[in-house]
Chain A
Amino acid sequence: MSPFDDTSGLPGRPPPQTDPWEMVELAITLLAINPAGLRGLWLRARTGPVRDRALAGLKTLAPRKLHPSITDEALMGGLDLSATLASGEMQHHTGLLERSGTLQLTMAERCAPGLGVRLGQALDRDSTLALIALDEAAEEGEGLPQALADRLGLFLDLEGFAWGDSADIVLSPALITAARARLKGIVSDTALARLAGVAAELGITSLRAPLLANACARANAAWRGAETIEEADLEIAVALCFAHKAQHFPESPSDREETPPEPPQDQPEEGRDRDESELDMPEDMLIEAARSALPPGLIAQLQAARLARAQSGPSGAGAKRKSMRRGRALPSRAGKPGTGARVDVIATLRQAAPWQKMRRAMHCGAAPDRLLLMPSDIRLKRYQDQTDRVLIFVVDASGSAAVARLAEAKGAVELMLAEAYSTRDHVALIAFRGAQAELCLPPSRSLVQTKRRLAGLPGGGATPLASALQLALATAEQARGHGMTPTLAFLTDGRGNIALDGSANRAQAAEEATQLARAISSRDMRALVIDTSLRPKPQLADLSAQMRATLIALPRADARSLSATLSSALGG
């Protein structure tokens, strides 16, 4: 896009059908112009040549790299141990967050909520800081921590860009400096109110979003060489800053012409806003701009990621693991400082003590009252920690599991939830009926969310047991990837009749179910099968044997006894 392309500024025009790569280029330009206002960029892309091109463009900002497992010391600064030991004087090193400029967070999808919050707080504190988050999310349910997603202005998704679609991004420093100089003088009278209105219509609750979008519109106006914010600037701002945050899209104008608008009881706010603002048409144009900015399905994906992010710190009865930072103390070990571990000072001093005389003899110049430490003396603390436990409920909601049993299963899950709440477990919910299984709730600790999902669970239909096993395995693997210990709890009658490809082939379905059960056992996952059928059949017993799962047959259980059995089988 040429910087003085003023034909796109006509109000009422449909969003310009630009080359998608131009948007990428524009976003990077705008970030370079106004990093303090936009606060950063969420770049969703797998590693590859296309991303490299975008990153090459971002080089203008001279970002400093950080990674999700960065230590607090590297972030906030602290004692430079090696330099201090070498010189015998206190030496500090400055942290990444202590210097202004742009930061680049690689593998942002692995960023723990704690780090996200700290980076977010740093962004709030220091207005000269900006952050580029490189999100390589490969699977549904991965994404940026909310604390960051809310604070970064721009969003780009490079998925689907072929090498041929992209081009090298060359930013002209002179043009950017000129645009930056114009930034201060941009008049943005009505823009804030307009953007606030659009954000409300898109269901974006956070009030940071309109402010960030305003910064984007200002930058775009400055880039165009204009002095006031115009429609085109708002369209760009909405596409780059709002689209990915949208919770829902109001029905598109074409839909509305055909069907009379819904009575406003559903969305009273929106109805009222529209009447009052009388900005009907332009607002719709802006919403269209947001809609067209994103490939379909991405919104759902991002929301799934948000939900999956609803998981937090450690505890519960998970597997033990060695940890460098927390948990029960274990004997300390030799090692290098700066890998996130804490130095065990006493052990270090103890290690150094016997050698003092000898070392003093070697370094004759050393002051007599100075402790002579060698890097090999340093001892690190180790701890034993427990990983989070996640309970994955796989609930059969098919017609064969009679409606009464479904109610009981729901009741049991609710009681288990109350217990999980007190033992601080994570809970995930998979339901299967009809054609395939569905992840109703990614691992979460939110009681409210789980209850809501569970209450809305319908029953009836065929039994896609194989699909359920497949999804359960995938969810468990993902949870394990996040450092949690998964436990699977199946509530089913085991009468699977839908194969993985969706066909009603009972034999194939059984074969696939057995294979998946074996896969679960080979990955050493703890599983529990609760037979909810009225007359237990041997096929479920076989299946659970393949899974090496505990089978509990509860022909006539109420929710409470089911829950009691569950908790004893799971070991509390």
Chain B
Amino acid sequence: MGSRIRFREWFFLLALLVMVGLMMEGCGLIGQQATGAGGNVVKIGAALSATGALAREGELMKRGYELWKDTVNEKGGIDVGGKKYKVDIIYYDDKGDATTAGKLVEKLITEDKVDFIMAPYSSGITAAASAISEKYQKIMIAPLANADSVYSRGFKYLFGVLYPVGEGFGLHIDYLNTLQPKVQKIAIIYPDDLYPTTAAEVVKKKAEGAGMRVVYFQKFPKGTQDLSALISGVKSSGAEALITSGYFEDNVLMVKTAKELKLNVKYLGGMGAPTQPDFVKTLGKNAEYVIGMSQWEPTSGWKGPFFGSSQDYNALYKKKYNEDATYYTAAASAGGLALQLALEKAGSVDTEKVRTALRALDVETFFTPIKFDDTGFNRSGKGLIVQIKDGKLNIVYPEKLAQSKGVFPMPEWDKR
């Protein structure tokens, strides 16, 4: 018993020391940071998921921010009123959790004294985090949050780069309308979460407006591990097309289960997941012909200042990360770019001036055109429908940008 007690004493003393250390840090006695002493630094804060369920998306976003930052700094910085400002980004891990994200945004604003905030991934977390930045009247650029409800709260300092979820996801219906023979019955399944629910509801309305019948419309619990019951339901509903607004794992599970249960629909569509490189890696040959919705592809064909064209951006990304860029990364870079353009135009790092400049922004970039409406939402982009062919993404819609005609109806599982 004796030695054990001694250990406890040590432990307790250690705990005491740690507490003292914490208090000292809290009072700023140690680890004090130079707060923009040079003056020529734009300090940006970003809370992103490095752990938790959204860690992968968080990583892709971080690459986008980093690519923008590095490119800016290599070119000497942002030209603000004749002075060159370098970019510095401070990252924290929000663990995919809204509360933590809120806490971190406050830390970034009050402790790290950042000038601007880049938002986390997903609409739900951004909704929580932006409430904090709005309070402090700091500009938050949200590259990957596009549920309408995030912007309908009358916030003045929040800017969303990605165009609205409904319009993007609704492209599935636009595309289906161009296909022959016409699809009459569609099934929609989605997890119970802010963004997927919004998307599913919008697309349902749109499908009905286009004269289709939504024969199966089901919400499943977030993070479900089995979809066989739903897929069987889809099968007996006689749907010709199945689309989901779920996250990556939901999409993968949907395709796997559809194959397993021999659900032969003509059209199997998802949200952003099929455009992630992991999708083909995970599903292999079964990923073929799956259709996804992208906000941006290297072949999007936009061009604009700084990064040049979509292709140029992709080349830059490829040089660094050895794979093609996804819209997650591109959107993050575009968020940075929007801020950069506003800074240049404003000629000042003052929040109010930059905010006015952001509001007035109307420019085509490598990502999409960017023009924020009164709610701070960029509605001017255009989405793409892509299909996986030979393990690669092919743009099939809109026709103007299509690389090849889509394969429709998709071949039955047995006949591949």
**A, B: real partners:** no
Which residues of chain B have a CB within 8 Å of any CB of chain A? none
Which residues of chain A have a CB within 8 Å of any CB of chain B? none
